[in-house]
Amino acid sequence: MDLRNLENKVILELLILSNKIGFTKLQFSLSEYLRKHINVNNVSSLFSVASFYQLKELEAQSLNFIDVYALDVLQSEDALSLSPETLQLILNRDTAYANEVDIFRAACRWIKKYQNELYPGDKTKILSAVRYQLMDDEELSEVRQSDLVRSDTIILDVIKSRIESLPQEFNGRGQLIPNVNFAEQYQKDLYQIDGGTMITFYYPLNINYIEMIYGKVPKWNEEIRPYSYYIEVSTDKRHWLRVVDHSNYHCQSTQRLWINRRFVRYIRIVGTENTSNKKFDFLKVMYNTEKMHSVEIKNGFVAPKYNVILENVDTRVVKIMPEHMHVTLTQPYVLSSLRMLLNDDREPISGYTIKVSTNNKHWDMIVNKSHVLARSWQLLRFESKLVVYILITSERTFLHCVDLEAPAQVLLD
C-alpha cells in the first residue's frame, strides 16, 4: 500500500482492522505513519481511535499535539467527531491551553450539533468541564446569555460556585513544555516593581524551576553580603500565591529554586533585606524534567539528593582555620546527612562537632563527636534541618577536612 494516496479515514479503518485481526506489524507501520502525519484536521479522530484501541504511543502523541494546538483542534471539523467522553477528557486537561471563553464556544458548537442525540447529563458534564473562574466579567456575561446556559439552573449554579472561589482552588490551564527556558523564549515583559522585579509571559505556562540572582555573582575575594526575598506567582495579576519564602534566611549568589508544578503567567521577586538599588535577574524559568529526580520539596524548601557543595560552584568556604571550617551555602537547603573525609593519611583528630545555622547567629548542634578519635570518612545522619551555614570544629588538634558532601552521596543503609 502507498499510504500517501489514501485518505486519513481509510488509513484509520485499516488500523482498526489490523488491530482486530491481530496483524501487529501492519498495525505498527500504520500507527507510525499516522504519528508522523498528525495535524489539526485529523488529530481528534486519531486520538479517539488510539484511545479506544489502546495504541499508547499514538494516543500520547495525539494528546501532546492537542495540548499545543488546543483551540485550533477544538474549532476544527474533525473535533465534531469526538464522543462526549473524549471531548470531556480533552476539556479536563490542564495542559490543553486556550482562552477559556473560546473553549466554551467550541463546547457549545459541539453540543448544538448533537443536542438531539445526547444522553441526559452529557451537556451538563461537558459544560461543567469549562473553567469559568478563569474568565473575566465580559466573558462571563456572554456565557450567561448563551442559549445553552441561561435556562440551565445546574450550569448556572456551577458557574456561580466557581467564580465565587479563588482561582488557586482550581487548576488553571497552561502549556507543558519540558526543559525550555521560558525566561528567554516566552518572556513578554520584565520590569522593576516596588522592592523587586516582575516577569510576564505571553500566556500561562507550567513551571517547576526558577533560577535567579540578585545583583551579580560575587568574586571569591569579595565580602559576602547575604540577601533575603520571597517569590509569588499569578495567572491573572490579581491573586498571588507565594511559592518561595526566603524572607528570614540568608541567601547569596545564584538561587536554584524548585517548586511544585504550577501554572503561571506572572512571577515577582520581592526583596526583604539588603536588596536596595539592585535588581533581580531571572536566569531560568522552566518545567525541568532533566533534574527533577534529584530533588524533593519539603515545606517549600529544596531537599537535594545531589551534593550542593560540589554542584553549586559559588558555594563558599568562608573561613578555614586550624581548628574549624565555616561553609556558606547559596540558599537554605533541607539536609539530613553529611559525609566528610578527615585528615586523609594524617593522625586522627581528637574529636569534632558540627553546628548549622540559617542566619550565622543562632546555631544548632547536629553532631557531637568531641570525645571520639576520628579520621577517614565520617558518615553523619541527623534530624532534617534547614541549613545555610555549616561550622565544623575540632576540639584540640588541627582540622584537615579533605572532602565534604551535603547531603551524603552514599546509601545511608
Instruction: Give Cα 159 distance to the centre of its chain.
Output: 28
H or E element at residue 184: helix 182-185
DSSP state of 288: -
Superfamily assignment of 308-405 in CATH?
Galactose-binding domain-like (2.60.120.260)
Contact at 8 Å (CB) between 35 and 58? yes
Q: How does residue 159 score in pLDDT terms, banded at 50, 70 and 90?
A: confident
Task: Answer with the residue of higher pLDDT: 105 or 321.
Answer: 105
Q: How does residue 169 score in pLDDT terms, banded at 50, 70 and 90?
A: very low
Indicate if 308-405 has the same CATH topology as 182-290. yes
| Position 362 pLDDT exceeds 50 | yes
Distance from C-alpha of 35 to C-alpha of 63, rounded to nearest angstrom: 11
pLDDT at 355: 96
Task: Answer with the residue of higher pLDDT: 396 or 369.
Answer: 369
What DSSP letter does each residue of 161-176 carry, written as one string? HHHTS-GGGS----B-
Where exactly are the structural domains of the chain?
3-167, 182-290, 308-405
Q: Which of 100, 47, 110 is nearest to 75 (CA)?
A: 110
Contact at 8 Å (CB) between 34 and 58? yes
Least confident piece of the model among 21-35, 46-60, 63-77, 152-166: 152-166
Contact at 8 Å (CB) between 351 and 394? yes
State pLDDT tens for residues 340-359.
988 766 677 778 899 999 99
DSSP strand pairing (254-273 vs 280-286): unpaired
User: What angle do helix axes 153-163 and 137-145 make, rounded to 10 degrees?
Assistant: 170
DSSP state of 347: P
Distance from C-alpha of 124 to C-alpha of 115, rounded to nearest angstrom: 12
State pLDDT tens for residues 293-302.
999 999 999 9
All three cell numbers of 12, joined, read 484509520
Distance from C-alpha of 39 to C-alpha of 36, rounded to nearest angstrom: 9
Predicted structure pTM score: 0.77
| Position 146 pLDDT exceeds 60 | yes
Which residues 6+ apart lie within 8 Å of 65 measured at CB? 38, 43, 73
Superfamily assignment of 182-290 in CATH?
Galactose-binding domain-like (2.60.120.260)
Q: How does residue 224 score in pLDDT terms, banded at 50, 70 and 90?
A: low
